[in-house]
Chains A and B, each alone.
Chain A
Amino acid sequence: MAPEGAHAHEPYAPVFTAGSPMRARLDELLTRYPSKMAALLPALWMLQEARGWVSPDGIEEVAALLDLTPAYVRGVVTFYTMYHQHPVGRHFVQVCTTTPCNVCGAEDVVNAFLRETGCGELGVTSPDGRFTVIEVECLGACGFATPVMINERLVECVAADSVKDLVAGLD
């Protein structure tokens, strides 16, 4: 959660203002489905793309646009793992540790990331705000163990000893 009252200092800037490119994209999306509700997942993706996370204010904005209640939208957001309910580091690192990758040494890769990024602990953002590292369930790239997603980019065949260079290459 953002610190309490944080948005009192930083007023929420709506993402889908009339005439904005985001609003145009949303309007086009709405033509694809017979219900407004069906545009919810794509709208939440756009919100996260614009703001880096799905904030309570963002949830209210999307809910109002799609004629849904904020509580309903929150229920949907919390079901899916890819919507960030808190701000995360600039590089969001997801290491697959499910069985096929696990037998190929994925846990060593996780530990290398925790060490090299300075995060120390899963889900904790590094003090410089650059990294958040989490374990993720099956990324669907099992033949390329260990796959790691850094934001939306997938890196295949990561080994523990290649993590240092990988991290050094990120700003």
Chain B
Amino acid sequence: MGYPHPSHPRETPVLSKHFGDPEARTLAGWRARGGYEGLAKALTMDPVEVQNVVKDSGLRGRGGAGFPTGVKWSFMKPDGKTHYLCVNGDESEPGTFKDREIMRWTPHQLVEGTALAAHAIYAETAYIYIRGEFDEPIRRVEAAVREAYDAGILGGNAMGSGKRLDVHVHKGAGAYICGEETALMNSLEGRRGNPRIKPPFPAVAGLFGQPTTINNVETVSAAPHIVLRGADWYKSLSTPANPKSTGTKLFSVCGNVARPGNYEVGMGFPLKDFLYELCGGPPAGRRFKAIIPGGSSVPILTPEECETAVMDYEGIQAAGSLLGSGGVICFDDTQDMVRQIARLARFYAHESCAQCTQCREGTAWTTKILERIRDGEGTMQDLDTLLAIADNMTGKTICVLSDSCATPVVSGLKKFRHEFEAKIRPSRASVMIPSFPGTVAA
């Protein structure tokens, strides 16, 4: 299948295999497609064994940070404390809409992965936090959770294992920052979504002060496939050239591109083939001007930088950006980069939780300057000021929202400086009035 386009022959559909197939949404349909076999197997295994399989598979966090999942799970020890799992379905990074399709089309894939991850970290309770705007995904996941309870997959004796596994869906209420893991926990506890200072890390003191693991929707959804089919199978899906990035990744593609949508490819896929062959290149008659490869918070790439890049954590980094959440935003040659970077800055200014000064002031100030340049009111000195503010916004705050605002500004100024300069009204050159020959002051 595939959605909104049928899967391309060069895709490797694992998570997206049943996108677009309404029958996969029901418990019966999911089971008919091999669903819940991975969870059943995991429940016969010790949590440490589950952690080890996932560690061996090389699976890394798909929310953006890319932390090895098995290692994260291994921080959770059987210490007799109440453990929690939070699944991050707050997907709000501009350009990213992959978790949405997992939840809409294969909600049981998520419920299965959530239950498996909870088991792997010695937790009995998991919360799936889904952003408030995702009305359909929330309803689909809630329906799947109900079905799973009715079938005894969840509850006091999960799949007959004698273990208790509870999964609850928690609806957000509109705040980009709640996708940051500590803000998510605050929001779930009924607080304002301000990120928390780390340490303590969630594995020590997280949700309700208890040891907690936070995983992205795509990450936990991949886990049952790995447990069922093995770490070697998962590693065989990506190019063997880079053992640090394994398996498949969902990429969301949007902006000025012929076929926007979700694509699942093995890690290490060539970015150029991805953009032109799978996504159809830029709209007819146009050329790409810029590509943001991993959601709006990562550095902007030029088409030249995309030429030889490969799509995995290290490959995109080598090209000068980050894989992030896998949201690929395309800009064609009709776009005004100053205008679009200003719009991005406005997004971050709107979404800043305002607890750190550098972010609260920096995002607003950056936006103000960029919009002034956009409107032809800027000065050359503004460009230096932007870079100075960006420097003060990077690495100095509780979370990385501030850095995320600075990133496209710095990379945009570096790669598209001529567009900024072209908008700045040249100051008038001084003109010496010539003296009139033959006239002498009396």
Q: Decide if B171 touches A41 in the complex (CB within 8 Å).
A: yes
The residue in chain B whose Cβ has the minimal distance to the Cβ of A80 is B173
Taking the closest CB of chain A, its distance from the CB of B262, in whole angstroms, is 7
**Which of A18-26, A100-108, A117-125, A162-170 is near enough to bind chain B?**
A100-108
Interface string of A145-161 (1 = CB under 8 A from B): 10001001110000000
Q: Decide if A103 touches B100 in the complex (CB within 8 Å).
A: no
* A57-82 with Cβ < 8 A to chain B: 66, 75-76, 79-82
How many B residues are at the interface, by size bracket?
35 or more
Interface string of A28-72 (1 = CB under 8 A from B): 000011110111111011000000000000000000001000000
Is A144 an interface residue when CB atoms closer than 8 A count as contact? yes
Contacts of A143 in B (CB 8 A): 4, 97, 252-254, 260-262
The residue in chain A whose Cβ has the minimal distance to the Cβ of B351 is A137
Taking the closest CB of chain B, its distance from the CB of A100, in whole angstroms, is 4
A150 to B332, CA, bound (A): 30
* B253-268 with Cβ < 8 A to chain A: 253-256, 260-262
Is A11 an interface residue when CB atoms closer than 8 A count as contact? no
Q: Decide if A104 touches B256 in the complex (CB within 8 Å).
A: yes
Is B208 an interface residue when CB atoms closer than 8 A count as contact? yes
Taking the closest CB of chain B, its distance from the CB of A76, in whole angstroms, is 6
Contacts of B353 in A (CB 8 A): 79
Is B274 an interface residue when CB atoms closer than 8 A count as contact? no
Q: Given A38-B190, A145-B254, verify A100-B175 contact (CB < 8 Å).
A: no
Q: Which of A44, A140, A144, A145 is within 8 Å of B133, CB to CB?
A: A140
Q: Which of B189, B192, B332 is within 8 Å of A79, CB to CB?
A: B192
* B182-217 with Cβ < 8 A to chain A: 187-193, 208
The residue in chain A whose Cβ has the minimal distance to the Cβ of B253 is A143
Taking the closest CB of chain A, its distance from the CB of B43, in whole angstroms, is 22
Q: Which of B94, B133, B347 is within 8 Å of A82, CB to CB?
A: B133
Contacts of B176 in A (CB 8 A): 137-138
The residue in chain B whose Cβ has the minimal distance to the Cβ of A81 is B174
The residue in chain B whose Cβ has the minimal distance to the Cβ of A82 is B174
Is B299 an interface residue when CB atoms closer than 8 A count as contact? no
Is B344 an interface residue when CB atoms closer than 8 A count as contact? yes
Q: Decide if B91 touches A140 in the complex (CB within 8 Å).
A: yes
Q: Decide if A139 touches B133 in the complex (CB within 8 Å).
A: yes
Interface centre among A82, A138, A145, by most B CB within 10 Å?
A138
Q: Given A37-B189, A103-B256, verify A138-B173 contact (CB < 8 Å).
A: no
Contacts of B327 in A (CB 8 A): 142
A: residues with CB less than 8 A from B are: 32-35, 37-42, 44-45, 66, 75-76, 79-83, 97-100, 102-104, 136-145, 149, 152-154
9 extra interface residue pairs, beta carbon distance < 8 Å, beyond A32-B166, A34-B82: A40-B190, A42-B171, A80-B175, A82-B133, A104-B256, A138-B176, A142-B260, A143-B97, A144-B4
Q: List 17 A-B contacts (CB under 8 A).
A: A32-B168, A34-B82, A42-B170, A45-B171, A76-B192, A81-B174, A83-B173, A99-B94, A102-B340, A104-B254, A137-B350, A140-B92, A141-B97, A142-B95, A142-B97, A142-B260, A153-B135
